[in-house]
Amino acid sequence: MPDRVTEPSDPRPLAAGVSAGASAGASAAPAVEFNDVQIAYGKFIAVHNFSLSIEKGSFVTLLGPSGCGKTTLLRAVAGLVGISSGQIAIGGRRIDDVPIYKRNIGLVFQNYALFPHKTVFDNVAFGLKYHNVPKADIAPRVARALEMVRLAGSERKLPSQLSGGQQQRIALARAIVFEPEVLLLDEPLSALDANMREEMRVEIKKIQKQTGITAIFVTHDQEEALSMSDRIVVMSAGKAEQIGSPTDVYDRPATTFVADFLGKANLLAATVKDRDAGGVSVTLSTGQTVRVATDRQVAAGDKVSVVVRPQKLAVGSELPNRLSGRVLSTSYLGSRIIYEIDLGQGSIIRANVAVVTEPVREGETIEVGFDPADCVLL
């Protein structure tokens, strides 16, 4: 979890226990801050005491399954949902009770939310009049936004004349045309096919970096989160399970939920055997012993789980940790193959390995290995 952040100065009263701090300028403030935000619907708490500080110009993803609170948090930033307690600030300015039209934010929804009877130009220009943009500047701004999303020349078309991917580009152009402080993206790629999703990932990330807009992206798709984000907030049941870079949350999951949700890791039940300066030795439920490079404080006899990603396993290697089992199934993917392996005692693992030799057949015995540094102890 990140360090607790201090509430920036604001003419309105601050919550108890939060100080205004030094009089740093707004330029020094984070782009977005959540301080102990709680959102409840009656007795149901959708978000529990959520705190997060987002740097300007960064791309942060709220990742998790349906009902985890990620969209609720996004809607709270937008002003579409009220918070029950805590504080939200944009650019050092508290916005807890600021109406949506006074928040300098851009919104992109999964259903595009375009006006079907308006042209592309009118859809993109729609929000500019609410931001006091001079009439003479509207056409140049729309042209720049459409050029940025690679749809220059489409000004007179209607949304019905565009593909799904093109409509999403128009929604993105409309969101960035007035140069918002924060861009909010609510599962914007979910309605697209696989090829278009991959293309739009690259486009959105490129535009975000080009403009320098701070982006908060909501998704349940792990690949989207890993490929696009500077930081990922993995959420479950209204709480942040882990916050970190894509590498942090993937390679060093903090909880079993993160390990299982992000990339489907192998979780091996084990008992601590001993520890030394180099790490911990554990005995798996199968009786096999493996080493884990960790500084986690555990004692002999503690029940733990060893987390190892399928991609970290290698077949027939000379790595320190080696496990032997029977192949239950194989999935050939060209350059790689996925094995499902029964280690015995009800312990089954998956190995996603490079194809360098003839694949091992179902029913045959296979040995896979992994490095102590490539696994995590929970």
Concatenating the DSSP letter of every residue in 113-164 gives: ---TTS-HHHHHHGGGGGGT--HHHHHHHHHHHHHHTT-TT-TT--GGGS-H
Half-sphere exposure at residue 153, Cβ-oriented, CA atoms within 13 angstroms: 1
CB proximity list for 161: less than 8 A, separation 6 or greater? none
pLDDT of residue 370: 92
Q: Which CATH architecture has domain 264-377?
A: Beta Barrel (2.40)
What gap in Å lies between CA 149 and CA 187, rounded to an integer? Answer: 18
Within the chain, which residue ranges are assigned CATH 2.40.50.140? 264-377
**In CATH terms, is domain 26-104+180-257 a member of 3.40.50.300?**
yes
What gap in Å lies between CA 132 and CA 358, rounded to an integer? Answer: 67
What gap in Å lies between CA 98 and CA 293, rounded to an integer? Answer: 49
Within the chain, which residue ranges are assigned CATH 3.40.50.300? 26-104+180-257
pLDDT of residue 18: 31
Residue spans of beta strands (DSSP E) within the chain: 32-41, 44-54, 59-63, 85-90, 93-94, 105-108, 182-186, 214-219, 231-236, 239-244, 266-276, 279-284, 289-292, 303-308, 314-315, 321-332, 336-344, 347-354, 365-370, 375-377
Along the 378 residues of the chain, how does pLDDT read in single tens digits? 443 333 333 333 323 223 333 334 445 789 999 999 999 999 999 999 999 999 999 999 999 999 999 999 999 999 999 999 999 999 999 998 888 888 889 999 888 788 999 999 999 998 887 788 888 999 999 999 999 999 999 999 999 999 888 998 999 999 999 889 999 999 988 888 888 888 889 999 999 999 999 999 999 999 999 999 999 999 999 999 999 999 999 999 999 999 989 877 899 998 989 988 888 898 999 899 999 998 888 888 889 999 999 999 998 878 899 999 999 999 988 888 999 999 988 889 999 988 877 888 999 999 999 999 999 999
Half-sphere exposure at residue 107, Cβ-oriented, CA atoms within 13 angstroms: 20
Half-sphere exposure at residue 136, Cβ-oriented, CA atoms within 13 angstroms: 0
Please state the separation of Cα 229 from the chain's center in Å: 6
What gap in Å lies between CA 132 and CA 176, rounded to an integer? Answer: 15
Closest to 260 measured CA to CA, from 234, 278, 291: 234
CB atoms near residue 372 (< 10 Å): 17
pLDDT of residue 8: 34
What gap in Å lies between CA 222 and CA 201, rounded to an integer? Answer: 12
What gap in Å lies between CA 207 and CA 177, rounded to an integer? Answer: 12
What gap in Å lies between CA 78 and CA 377, rounded to an integer? Answer: 39
Report the DSSP beta bridge partners of residue 216: 60, 184
pLDDT of residue 27: 52
What is the layout of strands, in order, in the sheet containing 214-219?
105-108, 182-186, 214-219, 59-63, 231-236, 239-244
pLDDT of residue 91: 92
